A and B are shown apart, each in its own frame.
Chain A
Amino acid sequence: GDSVTQMEGPVTLSEEAFLTINCTYTATGYPSLFWYVQYPGEGLQLLLKATKADDKGSNKGFEATYRKETTSFHLEKGSVQVSDSAVYFCALTRETSGSRLTFGEGTQLTVNP
């Protein structure tokens, strides 16, 4: 079945550091890929998405590129802020799943001033 694997957390960075959170997936066909973010005590919000190979999703300074050859969708940000502290989830869906998502385990990011 489909699965998503994220790098183990938690991740702790200093403000203005470079962020990478790794995400790899297993799925048949051509899934769409997503990153969601969860701030403390809240539900998840869509951060960015990519629907086909080589697409780059971007939002709020975050980027991720859909790499079919490595089945990856790593999340990056050039300079993190304290306000980026949250849990980040990688997820996928396939056309036969409608909008049903398969999520990774989540990666806790803490940014210190």
Chain B
Amino acid sequence: DGGITQSPKYLFRKEGQNVTLSCEQNLNHDAMYWYRQDPGQGLRLIYYSQIVNDFQKGDIAEGYSVSREKKESFPLTVTSAQKNPTAFYLCASSPGLYNSPLHFGNGTRLTVT
């Protein structure tokens, strides 16, 4: 079955450590996205990539970094510069065309203490 795989489902880190969240898709989609979900705030876009080797900042990119070296992979690194990293992170992909729906992974819940 085609889909998006995020791993791990739960992740725990100490403050001051960088951590990388994995996102892999086998839908052959061009575009990939990272959203952050916090209670009562909906989804906020962190980074997105429309094509391999290219990506753009979303609305809350500070303290995060990404890479897009392969079409199927879009890892997100939460750096120690992110002031409030504890959240639920969702990866999504789409063909990239206007009106094409997003396909979401099941998310990674990151807890930083």
Contact = CB atoms under 8 A, between A and B. Distances in A.
Contacts of B94: 99
A49 B101 contact: yes
Of the four ranges (under 10, 10 to 19, 20 to 34, 35 or more), the interface on chain B belongs to 20 to 34
Of the four ranges (under 10, 10 to 19, 20 to 34, 35 or more), the interface on chain A belongs to 20 to 34
Nearest to A6: B42
A89 B40 CA distance: 11
Nearest to A43: B104
Given A42-B107, A43-B107, A98 B42 contact: no
Nearest to A94: B98
B42 A103 contact: yes
B104 A45 contact: yes
A49 B107 contact: no
B9 to A, nearest CB: 8
Interface in B9-45: 31, 33, 35, 40-45
A69 interface: no
Interface of B: 4, 6, 31, 33, 35, 40-45, 48, 50, 90, 92, 94-102, 104-107
